Structure 1
Amino acid sequence: MCTSLTYQTTTGDQFLARTMDFGFELGGRPVAVPRKHHFTSVVDAQGFDAPYSFVGTGRNLNGYVFVDGVNEHGVSAAALYFAGQAAYATQAESGKVNLAPHEVVMWILGNVKTVQELGERLNDLNITEAAAPLLNIVVPLHWIVSDQSGATYVLEREADGMHFIENPVGVMTNTPDFNWHLKNLNNYMQLQPTPHPARQYGDLTVNAFGPGSGALGMPGDYTSVSRFVRTAFIREHTDAVDTDAEAVNTLSHMLNSVEIPKGVKIKADGAADYTQYRAYMSMHEPAFYMQPYGDQTITRVALTNDLMTADQPTEFALSAKQQFQEAARV
């Protein structure tokens, strides 16, 4: 279960941020993939190529798997859980790019320059039921994708086919489907950052106890429905800032409202979902920032020419001891 949102600075620079909320330890770290990297696939023995370089959260499981990242053209993407509604093709299809759900982020980041291009190429894709390594299940996912223009879409594959939906609020969480979340915002029209005015009940004038009354009724639990509403409200009213460092700091504060500490969200099987990390993707640099649960240090990896032209992917250790610093290669 995760939360994602987009953000724009006063200078027009675009960011995509996300929490990674999961019970199983995923063990990802910042990894930069060079141009023309070849990915293996559990669906297609031929695998697929990635002409473009990108950096994101990856792990080498006899081949790299990524769940988020940003590419050299400023396209960013993140995969989020979509349990109960995700539905995929049951077999590979000749003449198409056949991908397992956990391979979609790598293909997008490695193959498209804009969100518009992704929309134009969706007919070429066949997302197929195939288990992910490590988890050994078909991971139910949907995806948020954004680019430097600010264009943001949600990609969902359900029983009735593929849906590529413009995202007007710049927020995505988990099940239900994205269009349901948009309709649900109609239930929260009363939310506002300013106090509600005094109310009259007969001869009694009732005043708010203090600032913040405008947000009375905003849901505070950890369900995907509540996290969507809360994040949409906070994103809409948080002040814009000027610089990249300020943007990452602001996004960190915004995601504080949906971060899940260990122990407060227990699943039916006894496992505890918690926010394993937060990621911030700067589309204009491009650069990837990662903030793990156990250490609030933010690690930054900029997609340099050396990384884009390397022979192999480059892994980076998560920084420590400072609040914000560049990553060191492993």
Structure 2
Amino acid sequence: MCTSLSYTNQAGGHFLARTMDYTLDFGAQILFIPRHYKIDADVAPFTTKYGFLGAGRKLGHEMFGDGVNEHGLGVAALYFPDNAHYPAAPAPDKFGLSPQDFIAWALGNARSIADLRQQLPKLQFVAHAANLINVVPPLHFIISDRSGQTAVLEPTSDELRLTADPVGVMTNSPDLDWHLQNLSNYALLSNATPKTPAVGGFLPKTIGPGTGAIGLPGDYTSVARFIRTVFLKRFATGATDTRTTLNLLQLILNSVTLPKGVKQMTAGPSDYTEYRAYMDLDARAYTIELYENPGDLQQVRLTAELLNSATQPVAYPLNRKPQVHQLTAG
């Protein structure tokens, strides 16, 4: 079902990270889309202004689960069941877009959250089944940029609006307002060891460090994953550079990563984390970590050479073989 968070490190670097959780492997690879490229989207074609890359695949046309563009805008899609609303057709003055094509449109046409906010009034999502899964995917989106801002786009009506996300975390349904209200139930959780009050004439002892987090939910519901991610993001020692940031984001996402079998769906196979993605919004770098190959970070950067020379999409096949490094004394 997916968990995501934005993060700013102590050097001022901005990142967007996510787990991609689903019941099947989309077969995604890192896919680059050049400037001025026509995408034959489900409802109507559009042409990109900016180059971008992310976890994508060509399914009739190029589609993405997340990505980052040349201006440092990052976007990720997450499931939003029982809440997403899509009209059957766009209004006459709107550009119709299927929800599964929004990431490619946004990364190809917006420079920042502010720019995207200005363009949204001309867009309207339209119910259109996605290739491969053959259903209309109920999606909402987390968006971050190099300003450090984070917003969510939750299509609950015909009109599309961005909502500021003050904690920089998103999971799945319910909507962001509900998750933020629920956060009040956990506001007193802490990384410190609280003092215990006397009970009558008896002074209970704590069971040691970590007791400030008693009550932190540990299940895999979207509600629990939201609270757990906010807690870890809040209290984890800050990262100082890109390397330590990637390491920290891996550790945070470890707490919400789903091995196959632990979250059985009502019908069909279990949900699992098919990949985890880390978007460096300042370096315009996209890094992916596969279920089959955890710990092997595979990265592509939006270099000037790539942006200025490529005129067609470029696919980067991923290594899916587990890596074992033999150590020798020396």
**Length-normalised TM-score, structure 2:** 0.95
- Aligned pairs (5 A) from 1:62-141: 62-141=60-139
Deviations 1:44-64 (Å, cap 9, x if unpaired)?
Answer: 2xx001110011000011211
Cα distance in 2 between the residues matched to 1:232 and 1:323 = 33
Structure 1 residues 101 and 160: alpha-carbon distance in aligned structure 2, compared to 1, 3 A threshold: closer
Q: Which SS does the other structure have where 2:12 is aligned?
A: coil
Task: Give the C-alpha shift of residue 306 in structure 1.
Answer: 2.8
**1:328 matched residue in structure 2:** none
- 8 Å CA contact 1:196, 1:213 repeated in 2: yes
Q: 2:254 aligned to 243, 253, 256, which one?
A: 256
Task: Give the C-alpha shift of residue 200 in structure 1.
Answer: 1.2
**2:2 matched residue in structure 1:** 2
Cα distance in 1 between the residues matched to 2:157 and 2:143 = 21
Q: Which SS does the other structure have where 2:161 is aligned?
A: strand
Q: Which SS does the other structure have where 1:201 is aligned?
A: coil
Residue type of the alignment partner of 2:25: E
Cα distance in 1 between the residues matched to 2:205 and 2:80 = 42
Cα distance in 2 between the residues matched to 1:162 and 1:143 = 11
**1:235 matched residue in structure 2:** 233
Task: Give the C-alpha shift of residue 323 in structure 1.
Answer: 8.8
- Aligned pairs (5 A) from 1:289-300: 289-296=287-294, 297-300=296-299
**1:16 matched residue in structure 2:** 16
Aligned residues: 322
- 8 Å CA contact 2:87, 2:158 repeated in 1: no
Residue type of the alignment partner of 1:241: A
Cα distance in 2 between the residues matched to 1:120 and 1:68 = 21
**1:163 matched residue in structure 2:** 161
**1:327 matched residue in structure 2:** none
Cα distance in 2 between the residues matched to 1:36 and 1:171 = 32
Cα distance in 2 between the residues matched to 1:162 and 1:186 = 27
Deviations 1:27-46 (Å, cap 9, x if unpaired)?
Answer: 111111111111111112xx
Greater displacement, 59-68 / 312-321: 312-321
- 8 Å CA contact 1:33, 1:307 repeated in 2: no
**2:328 matched residue in structure 1:** none
Structure 1 residues 132 and 94: alpha-carbon distance in aligned structure 2, compared to 1, 3 A threshold: same
Question: What is the alpha-carbon root mean square deviation over aligned residues?
Answer: 1.5
Residue type of the alignment partner of 1:100: S
Q: 1:188 aligned to 167, 186, 189, which one?
A: 186
Cα distance in 2 between the residues matched to 1:317 and 1:244 = 24
**Length-normalised TM-score, structure 1:** 0.95
Identity %: 42
**2:209 matched residue in structure 1:** 211
Q: Structure 2: give runs of 5+ residues left out of the alignment.
A: 326-330
**1:317 matched residue in structure 2:** 317
Residue type of the alignment partner of 1:298: L
Cα distance in 2 between the residues matched to 1:287 and 1:323 = 25
Q: Does 1:30 align with 2:7?
A: no
- 8 Å CA contact 2:125, 2:158 repeated in 1: no
Cα distance in 2 between the residues matched to 1:272 and 1:198 = 42
Deviations 1:127-177 (Å, cap 9, x if unpaired)?
Answer: 111111111111000000010010110001114643321010000000001
**1:61 matched residue in structure 2:** 59
Cα distance in 2 between the residues matched to 1:97 and 1:207 = 63
Q: Structure 1: give runs of 5+ residues left out of the alignment.
A: 325-330
Cα distance in 1 between the residues matched to 2:118 and 2:108 = 16
- 8 Å CA contact 2:124, 2:160 repeated in 1: no
- 4+ aligned runs moved over 3 Å, structure 1: 319-324
Residue type of the alignment partner of 2:163: I
Q: Does 1:143 align with 2:165?
A: no
Higher strand share: 1
Task: Give the C-alpha shift of residue 93 in structure 1.
Answer: 2.9
- 8 Å CA contact 1:119, 1:164 repeated in 2: yes
Q: Which SS does the other structure have where 1:91 is aligned?
A: coil
Structure 1 residues 271 and 55: alpha-carbon distance in aligned structure 2, compared to 1, 3 A threshold: same
Cα distance in 2 between the residues matched to 1:181 and 1:204 = 38
Task: Give the C-alpha shift of residue 178 in structure 1.
Answer: 0.8
Greater displacement, 283-292 / 83-92: 83-92
Residue type of the alignment partner of 2:123: L
**1:245 matched residue in structure 2:** 243
Task: Give the C-alpha shift of residue 219 in structure 1.
Answer: 0.5
Task: Give the C-alpha shift of residue 279 in structure 1.
Answer: 0.1
Cα distance in 2 between the residues matched to 1:9 and 1:86 = 33
